[in-house]
Amino acid sequence: MTVTPAADATKVSPLEQVVVAVEGGTLKDVSVATGSKTVAGELDSDGHTWRTTGKLAYGKTYTVTVSAADAAGALTQHTSKFRTVKPSGVASVTFQANALTALRDGGTYGVGQPVMVNFSRPVKNRAEAEKAMLVETTPAVEGRWRWIDSRNAHWRPAKYWTSGTKISVKINLFGQDLGKGVYGGANASTNFTIGPSRIAIADASTHRMKVYLDGKMVRDIPISMGKG
């Protein structure tokens, strides 16, 4: 019989699956629990392997209890324990439309709107965080993340969005090691749609501003640019 994580293991990631396997016998009963809470799991059809399907939690000691039968039907009991990592801090995320306003889930925004993710705690392992930050667009476009500071990351395409583009953002934050003892909290997601193209281009040398709606110039306006 093999049990993963190993007995007395510490600092186990809550993303790790608990796996119990036997050779020359079958599993009869498996329980993974902390206190009164058990973790859901499934037994393979051959009865040889059991895996958790539910999530582990941070900073908990789990007891794995196994009952297995050998080829002759004799029962064997096995018990082991392991402990999950205990973060020094847990970070959550919010989605921003700008520095002062939250992004509305399902909202409609302009062609220059970046995906703005704000972390509640500083992120040291930015590359690891980016692996958990997924942006999908319809139609598909290429883009990239840029960190404004240790708590704010923006994703934007190389050019303005196309009107009607749908953007879906998923931050699979839970269990991610963000560095310096900080781990990710609950996963988060949002989506928004790009509305009509409204672009204004101001020229400080001519003191004129040209306004374009859906690519067509509709105004050429004199502007002060702060001049009296």
> Which of the four pLDDT bands, split at 50, 70 and 90, describes residue 227?
confident
Do both 122 and 190 map to the same domain?
A: yes
DSSP string, 107-173: EEE-TTPPEEEEESS--S-HHHHHHTEEEEEES---EEEEEEETTEEEEEESSPPPTT-EEEEEE--
| Pairwise CA distance, residues 122 & 129, whole Å | 11
pLDDT at 73 over 90: no
Do both 175 and 118 map to the same domain?
A: yes
Do both 94 and 167 map to the same domain?
A: yes
Q: What is the pTM of this model?
A: 0.86
List, for residues 22-65, the tens digit of each pLDDT value: 998 999 999 999 999 999 999 999 899 999 999 999 999 999 99
5-9 average pLDDT score: 97
Where in the sequence is the domain holding 148, given as residue range(s)?
A: 89-196
What percent of the chain stands above pLDDT 90?
Answer: 96
Indicate the number of domains in the chain.
3
Do both 71 and 43 map to the same domain?
A: yes
pLDDT at 130 over 90: yes
pLDDT at 228 over 80: no
List, for residues 131-178, the tens digit of each pLDDT value: 999 999 999 999 999 999 999 999 999 999 999 999 999 999 999 999
Q: What is the pLDDT of residue 92?
A: 97
Do both 78 and 99 map to the same domain?
A: no
List, for residues 181-195, the tens digit of each pLDDT value: 999 999 999 999 999
